[in-house]
């Protein structure tokens, strides 16, 4: 149960002054549903201004606060021209205060002729005139603007303004209680970190790197601590040793001989499953490295030992693909494999549920439907979770409670993750890595093409589709809008433009489609009825169409390297030669060029992941931050690299030395877990 002293922070945002139904919506778009979320919604940057007595003290391009006296209003001759307020400083220097559009109506009220106002804004020069375009703040005396010498700039959503968000942040900070310190005094002193409440206040008030680092450390410590508690709780649980005899595995119909990396991973899994304490292992493998084969070998170990296995997939389409693949490889063994998704109803569903209870089904493949309350197993011995990052720890724990004893768990991810982020996201797990590709898999021809050659690309696409093959066209956004950059390709607009050329031979898929419509479109493409799939990044995992041999990624510089690699991995899945075209915009930075050059140079996902972290660690994120980059809202990539090892060691010390957070600092750390919503970690302490 959450500590009472945190209740003010976990009240809904509507408890803040000025938040009603209208303002609640843009706050929710930013993920701000509670007061705590607002408190942790830190500024992106700060505008730092200097107070000057007159314009002689200021430089063009500088943010200033200066007293100016209006002497003339020059109305705009038409709707496009600005309204200028002509003003002088104390020395007689003239400065124009420029207002466009409707703001010109308020300019007369703000600046009565002959009266002095203090003005905050950026000093610019236009022809021979000094000017401040749309002053940020205007006040009758200096006291009204001194609070804006350092002003936070927050991430916004439509319907929110900087002053409104700053007002809400101030209210949230007022509700922050004094909390007992969970960081060791020596660590605090060494890094010169302030206490938690003061760090939160400073992080909103100005560029205080020590305060930001302290808050990032808190988040990393909470995450590390929760993962350590999962590991500790797992060791205490009673599992069942599962030792296979190889009779089923020896009969498998495999598409290629096992690689050395696959044999190594299977050996590690086999050793874990033979132990009484439940396995908790992550299988990392690049696109096409053969993770499914390793998973099947693991599941057959469970079946050979008299237990059942379950494979959890994030989407129904991916679950069906796994089902078909596993059945084909396991056909000679006689093992019974079934599929269960949310679409299964009536007698078919009841038959599967009975088969799981009486043990006639050896392996079940499905979506979240396989861990619902109505699903019971005779003897669930192994749980395989595909695309682990799509599932929360709570969901995984639900599935592992389905066995008579705690089942062994094998999580898989095809997303290459840098070593540092592996520790952040999967710190409770042992890791096996498939760093070899099966023989015969062809390299994908990757090319970078300027977007102004779009016509040539579409012509080439037409020839490709006419040859009987299929293709993907990926865009960075669903649809364009007045508040979105015009140069960002929108999937809906691109679909409409290509439809004039390719008609009904294409389908559109994006995250805002209803699941049944998305699945229907994907089924059309997977079945070959549709030749071209236009999509956003929802297709980066879980699509296996061997006949699709062309991938076009528009505005490729907007994507992370790891994401580009995942998208590229949708082709090259059959025997035919595959091509990936990266369409780049005109405004390409040096970092952007380096990233796209790396995509041409290598198809090693793990190398790309490390390079991606290196390139973005300096603070340059091209385009919007991709979901899944990190599991954190405060800690950035640089802080993760610097602080995560320390936080991980500290968490290990707390769990192992204090025996489950029994010390005073451990009790404070429990509060930290709730603060960052890792409360399932506390549930594990109670054996929940």
List pLDDT tens digits, range 164-191.
Answer: 999 999 999 999 999 999 998 999 999 9
Q: What integer is the mean pLDDT of 23-35?
A: 94
pLDDT at 74: 92
Q: How much is the CA Rg of the chain, to the nearest whole Å?
A: 29
Q: Find out whether 476 and 488 touch, Cβ atoms under 8 Å.
A: yes
The residue that leads in pLDDT, 593 or 610, is 593
Q: Measuring CA to CA, how many Å separate 79 from each of 103, 133, 515?
A: 12, 17, 46
Per residue in 179-230, pLDDT tens? 999 998 999 999 999 999 999 999 999 999 999 999 999 999 998 888 888 7
pLDDT at 616: 61
**Pairing relationship of beta strands 445-450 and 579-584 according to DSSP bridges:** parallel
CA distance 138 to 145: 8
Q: What tokens does 251 get? A: 């009969």
Per residue in 246-297, pLDDT tens? 999 999 998 889 999 999 999 999 999 999 989 988 898 877 788 999 999 9
Q: Give the model's confidence band at 422: pLDDT under 50 very low, under 70 low, under 90 confident, else very high.
A: low
Per residue in 322-377, pLDDT tens? 999 999 999 999 999 999 988 888 898 999 999 999 999 999 999 888 888 889 99
pLDDT at 423: 64
DSSP string of 591-614?
Answer: HHHHHHHHHHH---HHHHHHHHHH
Query: Could you give the 3-state DSSP secondary structure of residue 205?
Result: helix
pLDDT at 542: 57
Domains of the chain: 47-152 (2.40.50.140), 178-439+640-688 (3.40.50.300), 445-602 (3.40.50.300)
Q: Which of 82-91, 328-337, 339-348, 386-395 has the lowest mean pLDDT?
A: 386-395
Q: How many other C-beta atoms lie within 10 A of the C-beta of residue 106?
A: 12
Distance, C-alpha 650 to centroid of its chain: 26
pLDDT at 17 over 90: yes
Q: Is 483 exposed, middle or buried (0-12, 13-18, 19+ CB in 10 A)?
A: exposed
Residues 6 or more apart whose Cβ sits within 8 Å of residue 114: 69, 70, 71
Q: At what angle do helices 590-601 and 561-568 cross, to 10 degrees?
A: 30
Q: What tokens does 34 get? A: 């509670």
Q: Measuring CA to CA, how many Å separate 232 from each of 271, 367, 411, 441?
A: 19, 28, 18, 40
Q: What integer is the mean pLDDT of 386-412?
A: 72
**Pairing relationship of beta strands 470-474 and 445-450 according to DSSP bridges:** unpaired
pLDDT at 619: 33
CA distance 559 to 22: 33
Q: Measuring CA to CA, how many Å separate 189 from each of 51, 186, 192, 194, 667?
A: 34, 5, 5, 9, 21
pLDDT at 655 over 60: yes
Q: What integer is the mean pLDDT of 477-501?
A: 69
Q: What are phi and psi of 226, to 5 degrees?
A: -65, -40
CA distance 464 to 448: 18
Residues 6 or more apart whose Cβ sits within 8 Å of residue 478: 490, 491, 492, 510, 511, 512, 536
Q: Give the max Cα distance, the chain.
A: 97
Where do the DSSP E strands lie in 522-610?
A: 532-535, 548-554, 579-584
CA distance 403 to 364: 14
The DSSP bridge partners found for residue 131 are: 96, 124
Question: What mean pLDDT value characterizes the chain?
Answer: 86
The DSSP bridge partners found for residue 281 are: 410, 430
Taking the model in full, what pTM does it have? 0.69
Per residue in 120-139, pLDDT tens? 999 999 988 899 999 999 99
Q: Is 197 exposed, middle or buried (0-12, 13-18, 19+ CB in 10 A)?
A: middle
pLDDT at 489 over 70: no
pLDDT at 14: 96
* DSSP conformation class of 253: -
**Pairing relationship of beta strands 408-413 and 380-385 according to DSSP bridges:** parallel
pLDDT at 337: 97
Q: Which of 106-120, 344-358, 484-498 has the lowest mean pLDDT?
A: 484-498
Q: What are phi and psi of 583, to 5 degrees?
A: -85, 120
pLDDT at 637: 76
Q: Find out whether 403 and 381 touch, Cβ atoms under 8 Å.
A: yes
Cβ-count burial 226-254 (b if 16+ within 10 Å, e if not) = bbbbbbbbbeebebbebebeeebbeebee
pLDDT at 630 over 60: no
Q: Is 501 exposed, middle or buried (0-12, 13-18, 19+ CB in 10 A)?
A: middle
Tokens 């035919």: give the residue: 576
The DSSP bridge partners found for residue 151 are: 47
pLDDT at 228: 82
């Amino acid at each position: 149960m959450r500590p009472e002293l945190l209740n003010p922070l976990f009240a809904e945002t509507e408890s803040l002054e000025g938040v009603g139904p209208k303002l609640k919506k843009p706050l929710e778009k930013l993920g701000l549903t509670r007061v705590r979320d607002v408190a942790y919604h830190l500024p992106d940057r700060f505008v730092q201004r200097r107070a000057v007595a007159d314009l002689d003290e200021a430089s063009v391009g500088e943010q200033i606060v200066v007293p100016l006296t209006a002497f003339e209003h020059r109305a705009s001759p038409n709707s496009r021209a600005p309204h200028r307020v002509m003003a002088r400083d104390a020395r007689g220097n003239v400065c124009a205060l420029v207002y466009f559009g409707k703001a010109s109506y308020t300019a007369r009220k703000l600046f009565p002729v002959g009266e002095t106002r203090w003005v905050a804004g950026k000093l610019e020069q236009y022809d021979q005139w000094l000017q401040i375009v749309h002053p940020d703040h205007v006040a009758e005396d200096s006291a009204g603007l001194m609070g804006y010498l350092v002003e936070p700039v927050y991430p916004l959503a439509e319907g929110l303004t900087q002053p409104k968000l700053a007002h809400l942040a101030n209210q949230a900070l007022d509700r922050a209680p004094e909390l007992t310190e969970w960081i060791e005094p020596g660590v605090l002193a060494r890094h010169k970190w302030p206490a938690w409440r003061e760090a939160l206040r400073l992080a909103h008030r100005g560029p205080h790197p020590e305060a930001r680092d302290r808050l990032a450390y808190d988040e990393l410590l909470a995450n590390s601590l929760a993962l350590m508690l999962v590991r500790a709780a797992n060791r205490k649980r009673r599992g069942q040793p599962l030792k296979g005899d190889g009779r089923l595995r020896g009969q498998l119909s495999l598409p290629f001989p096992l690689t050395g990396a696959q044999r190594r991973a299977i050996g590690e899994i086999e050793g874990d499953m033979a132990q009484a304490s439940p396995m908790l292992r992550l299988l990392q493998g690049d696109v096409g490295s053969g993770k499914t084969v390793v998973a099947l070998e693991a599941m057959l170990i469970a079946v050979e030992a008299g237990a059942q296995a379950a494979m959890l997939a994030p989407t129904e389409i991916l679950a069906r693909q796994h089902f078909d693949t596993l059945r084909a490889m396991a056909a000679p063994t006689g093992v019974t494999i079934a599929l269960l998704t949310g679409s299964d109803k009536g007698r078919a569903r009841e038959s599967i549920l009975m088969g799981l209870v009486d043990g006639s089904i050896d392996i079940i493949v499905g979506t979240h439907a396989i861990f619902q309350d109505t699903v019971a197993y005779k003897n669930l011995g192994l749980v395989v979770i595909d695309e682990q990052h799509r599932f929360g720890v709570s969901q995984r724990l639900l599935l592992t409670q389905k066995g008579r004893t705690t089942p062994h768990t094998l999580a898989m991810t095809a997303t290459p993750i840098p070593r540092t982020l592996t520790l952040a996201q999967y710190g409770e797990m042992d890791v096996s890595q498939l760093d070899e590709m099966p023989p015969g898999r062809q390299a994908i021809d990757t090319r970078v093409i300027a977007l102004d050659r779009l016509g040539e690309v579409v012509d080439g696409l037409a020839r490709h589709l006419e040859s009987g093959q299929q293709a993907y066209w990926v865009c960075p956004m669903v649809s364009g809008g007045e508040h979105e950059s015009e140069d960002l390709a929108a999937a809906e607009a691109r679909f409409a433009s290509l439809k004039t050329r390719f008609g009904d031979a294409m389908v559109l898929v994006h995250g805002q489609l209803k699941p049944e419509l998305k699945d229907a479109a994907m089924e059309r493409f997977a079945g070959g009825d549709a030749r071209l799939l236009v999509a956003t990044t929802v297709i980066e995992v879980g699509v296996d169409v061997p006949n699709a041999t062309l991938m076009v990624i528009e505005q490729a510089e907007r994507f992370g390297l790891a994401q580009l690699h995942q998208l590229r991995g949708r082709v090259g899945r059959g025997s035919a030669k595959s091509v990936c075209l990266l369409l780049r915009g005109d405004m390409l930075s040096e970092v952007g060029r380096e990233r796209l050059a790396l995509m041409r140079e290598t198809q090693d996902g793990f190398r790309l992941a490390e390079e991606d972290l290196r390139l973005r660690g300096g603070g340059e994120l091209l385009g919007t931050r991709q979901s899944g980059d990190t599991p954190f809202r405060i800690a950035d990539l640089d802080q993760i690299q610097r602080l995560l090892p320390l936080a991980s060691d500290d968490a290990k010390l707390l769990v192992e030395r204090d025996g489950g957070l029994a010390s005073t600092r451990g009790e404070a750390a429990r509060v930290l877990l709730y603060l960052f919503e890792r409360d399932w970690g506390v549930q594990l302490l109670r054996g929940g």
